[in-house]
Structure 1
Amino acid sequence: MSDPKIPGVRDYDAPAGGWGALKAVAGALADQETVIEGGKTLLRANQPEGFDCPGCAWPDPKHTSSFEFCENGAKAVAWEATTKRATPEVFARHTVSELLTWSDHQIEDLGRLTEPMAYDPADDRYKAIPWDEAFSRAGAALKALSDPNQAEFYASGRASNEAAFLYQLLGRRFGTNNFPDCSNMCHEPTSVGLPDSIGLGKGSVTLEDFDHADLILCFGHNPGTNHPRMMATLREASRRGATILAFNPLKERSLERFASPQDAVEMATLGSTPIASAYYQVTIGGDAMLVQGMMKALLAMEAQGGGVLDHAFIAEHTAGFEALMAQLEALDWSVIEAGSGLSRARIEEAAVVYAKSKAAILCYGMGLTQHRDSSGTVQQLVNLLLLKGNIGRPGAGICPLRGHSNVQGARTVGVWEKPPAALLDSLRDVFGFEPPRVHGHTVVEAIAAMEQGRAKVFVGLGGNFAVAAPDPTRTFAAMRQLDMAVHIATKPNRTHLLVGKAALLLPCLGRTEMDMRGGVRQSVTVEDSMSMVHASRGLNPPASEHLLSEPAIVAGLAETVFGRDPLIDWGGLANDYDAVRALIAGVFPSAFADYNDRVRVPGGFRLPVGPSDRVWRTASGKANFLVFDPKGGDPRRGDPDVLLLTTLRSHDQYNTTVYGQDDRYRGVFGRRDVVFANPDDMARLGLEAGAKVDLLAAFDDGGARIARGFTLVARDIPPGCLAAYYPETNVVIALDDHDLRSGTPAYKSAPVRLRKHEAGLN
C-alpha cells in the first residue's frame, strides 16, 4: 500500500531476518567502526563464559548456544563496543545548547563517555572532573536536601542485579522509596494486574514450554524488531505444526514470515517460514473487548456441546468464575464488535481455534500495556487462559514480553516504588536500619514532583529518562528545575543536556567490558523474562581507564553520603560482587538461596514461579477470574474527527536509541517523519498520501502538544487508527494520560487530530 511518489517509502517484500539482517549487522559494525573487534565480541554474546546481550530479555536456549544473537542484539553490542569516544575534548568543542539542536542519533553517536564530567553553566559545557570530586558534588547535593523524598532514584533495565540491589539499598538507606524506573513506562500493568489474577507479576512459562504448545497467541507485539531472538522460537514452533495467531493493529513482517540467518538452507534458497496462521487487526486499545468476545464465544460453545472448558481446573484452582460468566452473558456482541474493531465471525473463528487447542501460550507486549485500562486488559488475558486450564502445565501459560535485558531482575531485587512490607522487613532484619514505608514515586509522579519543586535531585542509573517519558513539554521543563542531576551512563543522550542548576555525567562500564575489582574479574547477573538468572562477564577492555562499574559508582555515592557507615561496608561490596549476591540471598532467602553456587552452573537457575506449579499467592489462595471494569473512558470522547495514535519503534531502534533512519520491514528508508493512516480516514479528512500533516493532541487546551511536518503514508490499519514513531511523537502524549492503576503512559492510544501542515511553524 506504499505510494512510490513518497521519497524513502517503498514496498519491502522480503521476509524478516534473512540476508537483510546480515547486511544490517555488517552495516552497524562498520558504522560504529568496530568491524573486527565487534565481530569477535558478538561470538561471546549469550555464552556460558561470555556476556549477556544488552538488548532484549528473551531467554537463551539453556544458555549454551554457539551462535545466539540477533540483528538488533548485534546493533546493541556494536553501539556499546564502538571505538567512538565522547571525550572531554569533544564536549569542549560543543556547548550544551548546540548539542540540544542535534538529533538523538547524533548525540549518542558521539560515542562512549570516558571521564566524569560536570556541567559548567558559565561556559555552557560539560568539563572533566576527578572521580572524588564527582562523588563529593553528588553527595553534597543529596545531603543538602531537607527531606529524603526530595530525591528521585531512577533505574533503567540495563543495570545488573548487583547494581540494582545496591541502588535500592542506597535509596532506602537514604530514606526514600522514590524509585521511578523504566518498568513504569512499559510493563507496569503486568506487575500490577497479574498479582491479583495469579499471585505474581511475572510470566508463568519457560522457553521449553514453547516446544509443547500447539497454539501460541501473540497480542500487541512485534518480535522481529523488539525481541528478535524470539523469532527462532516462533519459527521452530511453526515448522513443527503449532498454530500461531497474531492480534495487532498493524501487520508486522516478522509475524508473517521469517528467514533464519542461522539456517544455511533457508538462506541459500532465499526461503522463509510462515509464522502466523491468521492475523486479526484489532483496533487500537480493543484487545480487552476482543478477548471478552473470545470468552463469550467459548461459553456459547460449552453450552451447546460441552468439552470446551476445563471444569476440574476451574473448580479446584480458581475463584470468580460465576461473576465473569454473568458479565460476559450480559455483554452485547454489538459492543464487542465496536470496541474491538473485528466482526463477531472473526472473533468466533479465533475462539474456535483456541477451543480446539490442547496447550496454549499467550504472549503480549507493550501494544497491550500502554493504554488507559491496561492493568485490567492483562487480567482478561489471564481469564482466557484459566477457562481451559492453560496455566501451570507443559506448553501453556502467560508470557509477558519484557524489553530491556534486566528490567525484570531489577524489580525482583528491590527497585520498586511500592515495595511489599516483606521486602522492607527483610532489609531491616539483614542490615539493621528501618527502611521507609511510604510508597514512592512512579515516573509520572516523579516528573510532577520535579515540576512542583518537591523533587530537587535526580539520580539516573542508565537510560534516557526525559526522552523515554511522555509529554516532553512538561518533562523537559521539569528536568531543568532540578538542583542536581546525576547521570550514570555509557553514552551521552538528550536527558543529560537538560541541565538545571548542576549536572554530572558519571561514565560506567558496559555489559561487554571486563570488570576488574579488587584484582578479580567480576561477573554480574541478570534475570530474563522467564525468571532465569544467569551470569554475565564482559571480555572487552574498557573504553577508558577512567570508567567504573555501576556497582562501584553506586557504592562510591553511598560512601560519600553516609561516610563510615557502621551497617554497610559499601567499599567492600564494590570490590566483591559475590558479597553483594550473598546479601541478596539474605534478603530474599526463598528465591536466591545459594545464589553464588547456583549462578555458576551454566545456564543459571530459575527463580520460584508459583503459577508454574499452580501455587496462587493471592488473597483467595486461587487464581482469580476478574471482571473487566474500565475506568479510562473513551479517549476519543465521541468525536469522529479524533483518531487514536499508537507509537512504534522502528527496526533500526532500541527503546530511545535510534541506530539509523531505516525501518525496512515497514518499507521506510532514510527517514522517520511519517505517520501511517487508513486510506478511508485520509479521504474522509480530505488528505492524501504524501501530504505533510501536523498531529495535534486532541484535548490539549494549551495547544502546545503538536508533532509537526509528518508525511502521510497509506497503510492497512484499522479505521480511526494512526501509527508513528517513538519518541518523536511523545509530544502529543499528555503526562496525565495513563493507565489509572499502574501509571503507565498511554503511548499506544493517544487521541489526536490531523491537519495540513502549517509551513513556517516549528
Structure 2
Amino acid sequence: MAESEPRGIRRYSYPAGGWGALRATARTIREQMDAPDAAATLLRTNKPDGFDCPGCAWPDSRHGSSFQFCENGAKAVTWEATKKRVPASFFTGHTVASLLEWNDHALEDLGRLTEPMAYNADKDIYEAIGWDAAFARIGALLRTFDPDAVEFYTSGRTSNEAAFLYQIFAREFGTNNFPDCSNMCHEATSVGLPTSIGIGKGTVSLEDFDHCELIIAMGHNPGTNHPRMMGTLHEVARRGAPIIAINPLRELALERFADPQDPLEMATLGATDIASNYLQPRVGGDAAALQGIMKALIEMDDEAGPQAGVLDHAFIAAHTNGFEGLAVDLRAKRWIDIEAVSGLPQARLRDVARAYAASSATIVTYGMGLTQHSTGTHNVQQVANLLLLRGNFGKPGAGICPLRGHSNVQGDRTVGITEKPGAQMLARIEQRFGFVPPASHGHDAVAAMKAIVDGRSKALVCMGGNLAVALPDPEVCLPAMRRLELAVHVATKLNRTHLLVGRHAFLLPCLGRTELDEQSSGPQAVTVEDSMSMVHASRGRLPPASGLLKSEPAIVAGIASATLPESKVSWTELVADYDRIRDAIEAVIPSFEAYNARIREPGGFRLPLPPTERVWKTPSGRAEFLVFDGLVEDAAAGDPSVLTLTTVRSHDQYNTTIYGFDDRYRGVFGRRDVVFMNEDDMASRGIAHGDAIVVETAFGGAGERVLRDVIAVAYPIARGSVATYYPEGNCLVPLDHVDRASGTPSYKSVPVRIRRDSNVG
C-alpha cells in the first residue's frame, strides 16, 4: 500500500452508529431545516400518529423509544422537509442544457419544487403553468398515443392510495405498462418465491427476531441501506444468538455497532459485536455458497441418519416436493467446484451448516447482493431451499426476510402495480369500476426502456423516482429519453431524469410524506406496507412547501379526468376522501377487509402470509425444492484475468439520491470516484492503492463499456471481486444484462478487466 493515503481516503476507526451517526444527523439538520422544526418533525417519524419515513421499509419498532429514525432516515426526512425552495424564477435563469452540467447531488440539493412547470423547447427552460392547464395539455397529448406506447412508472415512495388510483387510470387508459422500482431490486423475490413457497414476500415479523436462534445475513449492508435494522441486530447479538454474515465486502455495521439509543454504549464509547462469523464469498458466489451449506447438511444427515434431526424429515414429507431431486443434485456436486466458484473453503461452509443444524429457529435475511444477478431468481430460491430443509417456516423465530428498499415498494405491488395482472384482479376491477381492463402483459422497467430506445414507446409518466439514472446503460438510456414526445414527472425535487426533455415535458410538484394533506373532507392519511407486510397509516403535519402543491392522489385524478373525459371512475369523489379510495382497494384487492377500520388501530394490521401457517399457494399445494442448474451465477467466471464487479451504495445516499460525498464506514470522504479492490488482485495487476485505473467490461463481444476517471482503493473484499458506486457504475451494465427469469438488471455481476490508466501520471 502507498505510504500516504489518496485524498479523502482514510480509515474510520469507530464503530458503526454511535456518536458518528449522531454528529452526521445534526449536520444534516443544520444544512436542511431549522432545528426546532426538525426536532418536532423527526419525533413524529414512524410513530402511530405520525408519518412513515420516506426511506427504508424496515418495520416500526414495537418498543416505545423516543425516536424511531436512524441517521439515513433523518437525511431522508430533512431532505424532503428542507427549507430550500426552487421557485419558477429559478428556471428563468437556468436552461435545461446548463442544469444537465450539474451533478446529481447539486440538482436535488436545490430544494423543493413549488409549482407546476412545462418545458418550453424554444427557450430550453421550464416555465410555470397552472394546474388546470397542465392537466388539460397532458390529457390532450396522452389521447394522441396508442395506450401501449405510454409507460407508467412508479417509485416506491408512492402511497397505496396513489398507486391504486394510478393503476386504475392506466388500465382504463388501456395499458398494463407498469415499470416500477421493484423491477430493479427485488423482482427476483417477487418471481422466485411464489414458485418456492407460494408468495412473493418475506414471511417473518419483527417479533420473530426476538425468538430466532440464528440469523444468516446474506448480500446486504444494513448500516447504510436499512440502518433501523441495526437496532434489531444489536438486540439479537446482545442476547447471544449468533449472526452469520455472508457478504463479499467487510461492512463495519455487520462487525461492530453502537446503538445511539443505548445510554451505556454511548457514555462508555462502547460497541457490540454483531456477526459471530463473517464469510466473504466472491461476488457472484452466493449460489455456490448456499449449495455448499446445503451439501454439508445432506452429508451430515446421510451420516447420522434421518432420526438425528439434521434435516426436518417430517416437515419435508408433509409439506414439500422435490427433496430427493435436490439431494441427488447436491450429492453430485464436487466440493472443489463449490470452493472455486464461491471463493470459500469447505471448512467455513461446513461451520455454517453445523450452526444451522444446531438452531431450531433460523431467519435468513438477504438484499440486492443476491437479487441483482443473472441468476437472482434462482439465488432467492436457494435461500428458500435452505430454510425448507429444516422446516424454518411457520414457527416463531424462523423464516425468510428479503430486505426491501423504499418504504412502500412492496405496498405498491400489493395494490396492483404490476405489468402481469392476474385474471381475478382484473375481474374485480371491472366489477368495481365498470370498464374492461386490458389483460395482455405490459412492460417492466427494462422492457419499458427498450421500447423507448426502439421508439415504440412515445410517452412516459413517472410517479416519483429518477428512472433514467436508476436504470443501467446511461449511454443508451439518456439519449433515448430525450426522444420522447411526452414526459410527465410527479416529484418533490429536481433530478436528472426531469432534464431529459423531449418535445413536451411537465414537472408536477407533490406533497411529501411529512406534509399536511388537506382535501375537501379534511386532513387525510395515506397508507404504506413495510417489508414485513404490516400496513399502517401515515399522516404528515408540516405546512406544505408551497400553497400550489397537490397530493399524489389528486395529481393522478387530475391527469385521469383530463385524459379520460368519459371515464367510468369518479375521480373527484375518490380524492375528496381517501377512505373512499381504501374502500375501492378493499373491493379489488383481497386481504384488505375492513381496511379503513384497521388502519385506524395503532400500528395498523398485517396482511395474510400463508407460509406462516404452513399453507402453500403453489399449484401443488406444497412448498417446492428447486434445483439450481450448475454453480456459476455470472458470465466469464473462471477466467483469471476477469474480475466480477458489483455496484454498491455509499453511506451518504439512498437509491439515486446523493445526500453528500462521504462513505465514512468504508473510509471514503468527499469523493465517489473509487473502485474497491482486493490487495492481492491489485498487486497481480501492478496497481497501487490510489492509482488511477480504467475498468472495462469483459463480456466477450463488441461494444465493451468503459469506466474512467476512478482510483483503486485497497479494501477487504473477496479475491476476484471489485466494487464501485451506483449509479456511477451503471455505465458498465448493459441494458440487456438481466436475470432472464425476473428481468432484474444484473448490477452486481459485471465481468471486468482493470488496468492502470497510462494517461494519468
Partner of 1:747: 747
Cα offset for 1:33?
3.7
SS at match of 1:753: strand
How do residues 491-640 of structure 1 correspond to structure 2 at under 5 angstroms? 491-565=493-567, 567-588=568-589, 590-629=590-629, 634-636=634-636, 638-640=638-640
CA distance in 1, matches of 2:632, 2:245: 25
SS at match of 2:728: coil
How do residues 110-509 of structure 1 correspond to structure 2 at under 5 angstroms? 110-145=110-145, 147-305=146-304, 306-509=308-511
Cα offset for 1:640?
2.5
Partner of 1:18: 18
CA distance in 2, matches of 1:680, 1:631: 24
Alpha-carbon deviations, 1:23-77, whole Å to 9, x = none? Answer: 0001111111433311210000011111011100000123854311100000000
Cα offset for 1:582?
0.2
Contact 2:285 2:632 in 1 (8 A): no
CA distance in 2, matches of 1:642, 1:498: 35
CA distance in 1, matches of 2:94, 2:721: 41
CA distance in 2, matches of 1:659, 1:255: 23
SS at match of 1:207: coil
| Count of equivalent residues | 758
TM-score by structure 1 length? 0.98
How do residues 58-73 of structure 1 correspond to structure 2 at under 5 angstroms? 58-62=58-62, 65-73=65-73
Contact 1:310 1:387 in 2 (8 A): yes
Alpha-carbon deviations, 1:616-644, whole Å to 9, x = none? Answer: 00011011101013698641265322211
CA distance in 1, matches of 2:721, 2:338: 17
Alpha-carbon deviations, 1:286-309, whole Å to 9, x = none? Answer: 111111111110011111223211
Cα offset for 1:2?
8.9
Structure 1 unmatched runs, 5+: none
Partner of 1:40: 40
SS at match of 2:384: helix
Cα offset for 1:709?
0.8
Contact 2:170 2:176 in 1 (8 A): yes
CA distance in 2, matches of 1:3, 1:368: 36
CA distance in 2, matches of 1:658, 1:622: 44
CA distance in 2, matches of 1:704, 1:518: 56
SS at match of 1:458: strand
Q: Which amino acid aligns with 2:396?
A: P
CA distance in 2, matches of 1:64, 1:2: 49
SS at match of 1:592: coil
CA distance in 1, matches of 2:694, 2:118: 38
Cα offset for 1:481?
1.2
CA distance in 1, matches of 2:604, 2:188: 28
Alpha-carbon deviations, 1:110-162, whole Å to 9, x = none? Answer: 100001001111111111111111111211121001x2100000000000000
CA distance in 2, matches of 1:424, 1:631: 39
Cα offset for 1:334?
1.1
CA distance in 2, matches of 1:587, 1:111: 38
SS at match of 1:722: strand
Deviates more, 1:719-728 or 1:750-759: 750-759
Cα offset for 1:758?
5.5
SS at match of 2:207: helix
CA distance in 2, matches of 1:135, 1:219: 46
Contact 1:631 1:740 in 2 (8 A): no
Q: Which amino acid aligns with 2:737?
A: D
CA distance in 2, matches of 1:747, 1:550: 30
Change (3 A) 1:144 1:631: farther
CA distance in 1, matches of 2:66, 2:423: 43
Cα offset for 1:265?
1.1
Cα offset for 1:5?
2.3
Change (3 A) 1:583 1:3: farther
CA distance in 2, matches of 1:380, 1:478: 37
CA distance in 1, matches of 2:659, 2:435: 45
Percent of aligned pairs with the same amino acid: 60
Contact 2:114 2:548 in 1 (8 A): yes
Contact 2:689 2:714 in 1 (8 A): yes
Deviates more, 1:218-227 or 1:621-630: 621-630
CA distance in 1, matches of 2:17, 2:65: 18
SS at match of 1:591: coil
RMSD: 1.5
SS at match of 1:262: coil
Contact 2:169 2:560 in 1 (8 A): yes
SS at match of 1:294: helix
SS at match of 1:729: helix
CA distance in 2, matches of 1:543, 1:47: 22
SS at match of 1:510: coil
Q: Which amino acid aligns with 1:207?
A: L
Change (3 A) 1:645 1:228: same
Deviates more, 1:426-435 or 1:368-377: 426-435
Cα offset for 1:658?
0.5
1:655 matches 2:647:
no
Q: Which amino acid aligns with 1:572?
A: E
